[in-house]
Structure 1
């Protein structure tokens, strides 16, 4: 209330004078408190939830070490970032993340013990709590997953699809298909891609099986298609069976070659290489030369049978012509390269390709086909075709090879060199024209 003159009057007291100092509260500590900073144990978390009413739910904590972390096992606010997440609410998901604006701000929690008069300061994390509707999160994840699968299908279509599927994908990209037509068009593209992939896979498997079967039916030694070295394409144990390898005798050739004594041959190929190989310590190569010489003598001993076939002579006649070789070895060659003592076109090609493969092994997979051409009494084109069937490239010698072999230009023009190349390239089968 106020007086009549308009001035406020003081409140009436009850006779007790007002104190000049604050009232003393019982239990309030007096004296000096000890302050200590503690970093033992897990640091506490200070959470801010502006505009949210957080229910009583539990959170799961996730920590990640930063680049400044030296000891990843000890979690500190300055070396680790912490995230809290909870899915305990029936409809909402709660996530507490560090505030980006407070990356340079440190937060602490102080705990005072009045009995011991100690103030403990603990570094703490400061997080901002947000909530999201769970159904919305699930829809976002589903859309991202669908988009990822669609992109993968389009990529597969671009790599392995047919012209139809590639055209559909390009049309979708260029014409900016609307949302209403996107689902139907995507389904059409996916179906086209899946059908194409199934057809392509089946065709690839069929083509691989047909190619393998066609290669197995060829009259050539069985090659190793996965070989990385020349020696592994036609290994010696494939060209010469182990049983025949033990029967091949080379001691006489080796002794005469080292003593420089003459060795009589019916074949130019063996005569031109026996001295160099016999003086070396490569017994396997000398055995390969001896076995090739046997095949050349065996081919020369064959008689004619029909228009294109050849016939193996009788046993006593064959043994007399090949008396320089063990009888068991001659009989093994007869059974290997003939059927019922006859060689049709397939068996002859099988014999010739083995000779060519042995010549590649002896000449380190680069051989002059002239000697074999003369020994087999064939043309360059025919012998070259046999080397082609083995995966070789046949052509005239290079200028460096001509100089190394001491050949004139005229001789080089009439010479053909067979070289085994990796990866193997076999000639394609000829297609018969339809009448």
Structure 2
């Protein structure tokens, strides 16, 4: 089709092509990573992942054996998609080790990724996955142990081979009861010693109670605490509560100018309204950013919609942008991705994660001792609910003392209904509840 007459064309550039794409905020120039996938290896076979459940394998060499799954791949290099791989070693004095592919991996693929920070290249290649097992080595008749057997043991061997059913049963019962090492008549073989030593090594490598508690704490929906902190201020650092990419976008200049000029600032929530005047007049920008970020989380919480079964969901983009029009769009999007799942929903774990971050921010603003009443009223919760979130952070929650009441200027009648959450060392996290006994 011919072009319409009079249609304007774009002016030729001066030799410089300018991209029409917007630059992502927070991204450094040259931060792109080159990803390559290597499927046809020319220098050797693919790498191998070996899992050893219940075993601690010694540092020994393995011999590889490969078998093609079809005749057309017989002379080709072994690949996870075309060959079955087996690793075998007999270098251990008493045990034979064999690594074979598991039946669970028939419909799974495994890959190895190696990242080079100098060239910013990520190379991905396919890999085999094998499961390691050990079996006691059979002792030959010519071995030293066979030559050193006593006359009674030789009679037992003859009884196993040529004895009556009653005799065989008696010998088998005696053998089962003679496993105890150092018994009067029981002699433990080297293979049994090796198996028991392997079990002992695995038990020694198992995580201790402290490691189990740390792993359990890491899976909770709370900000990651610094368990090695020497003071309450080091437990939840500012960068832990607000990532650096989000902290740069949090607006505070307008609040600071109005607070110093003693101008009125309108809020929808009680907590920031009661503290912006005192925090804004100081030079503590981090504390002011924490208060502003907390106000954003409260607005984000108010914009959520019910999703059934106690869950929440993020409204559509245009609806969310309208409700949070006072905040930078990029910052709102970062908050949405941080506290919701990929389906833009907030199940119970994600909601608890949002609430505990709010609670931790109030501790940061109030110097690690905060009155929970304002946050409770802003989130429309009961005392037991808000107390639980502060307990999850390791706080001690109790009634308001006389010193707290005088410092906050609260009357005696009102102070009896309020709770104070204080973060002190050593931290005390709630113990996991045990299941009900049947």
Bin for the TM-score computed over the shorter chain: 0.5 to 0.7
1:402 aligned onto 2:411: no
Residue 248 of structure 2: SS of its match in structure 1?
Answer: helix
Q: Tell me what 1:427 maps to.
A: 430
Q: Tell me what 1:104 maps to.
A: none
Residue 263 of structure 2: SS of its match in structure 1?
Answer: coil
Q: Tell me what 2:217 maps to.
A: 215
Q: CA deviation at 1:204?
A: 8.9
Residue 265 of structure 1: SS of its match in structure 2?
Answer: coil
Residue 272 of structure 1: SS of its match in structure 2?
Answer: helix
Tell me the distance in 2 between the aligned counterparts of 1:331 and 1:253: 22
Larger fraction in helix: 1
Q: CA deviation at 1:412?
A: 1.4
Q: CA deviation at 1:405?
A: 2.2
Q: CA deviation at 1:308?
A: 0.8
Q: CA deviation at 1:404?
A: 2.5
Spell out structure 1 runs of 4+ moving beyond 3 A: 201-205
Q: Tell me what 2:291 maps to.
A: 289
Q: Which of 344, 348, 354 lines up with 2:351 in the alignment?
A: 348
Q: Tell me what 1:383 maps to.
A: 386
Q: CA deviation at 1:411?
A: 1.1
Q: Tell me what 2:418 maps to.
A: 415
Q: Deviations over 1:295-318 (max 9, x none)?
A: 000000100001110010111110
Tell me the distance in 2 between the aligned counterparts of 1:409 and 1:264: 29
1:253 aligned onto 2:255: yes
Q: Tell me what 1:336 maps to.
A: 338
Q: Which of 253, 274, 277 lines up with 2:279 in the alignment?
A: 277
Q: CA deviation at 1:223?
A: 0.3
Q: Tell me what 2:33 maps to.
A: none
Residue 422 of structure 1: SS of its match in structure 2?
Answer: coil
Tell me the distance in 1 between the aligned counterparts of 2:279 and 2:406: 22
Q: CA RMSD in A?
A: 1.8
Q: Tell me what 1:317 maps to.
A: 319
Tell me the distance in 1 between the aligned counterparts of 2:392 and 2:349: 13
Q: Tell me what 1:234 maps to.
A: 236
Taking structure 2 as the reference length, the TM-score comes to 0.53
Residue 381 of structure 2: SS of its match in structure 1?
Answer: coil
Tell me the distance in 1 between the aligned counterparts of 2:334 and 2:407: 39
Q: Deviations over 1:179-216 (max 9, x none)?
A: xxxxxxxxxxxxxxxx9xx89x9599431221111101
Q: Which of 344, 358, 363 lines up with 1:360 in the alignment?
A: 363
1:298 aligned onto 2:300: yes
Residue 273 of structure 1: SS of its match in structure 2?
Answer: helix
Tell me the distance in 2 between the aligned counterparts of 1:241 and 1:258: 27
Instruction: Give the greater-gyration-radius structure (CA).
Output: 1
Tell me the distance in 2 between the aligned counterparts of 1:314 and 1:298: 13
Q: Tell me what 2:227 maps to.
A: 225
Structure 1 unaligned blocks of 5 or more? 1-194
Q: CA deviation at 1:399?
A: 1.6
Q: Tell me what 1:135 maps to.
A: none
1:13-28 matches, within 5 Å, as none
Q: Tell me what 2:27 maps to.
A: none
Q: Tell me what 1:372 maps to.
A: 375
Q: CA deviation at 1:403?
A: 2.4
Residue 429 of structure 2: SS of its match in structure 1?
Answer: coil
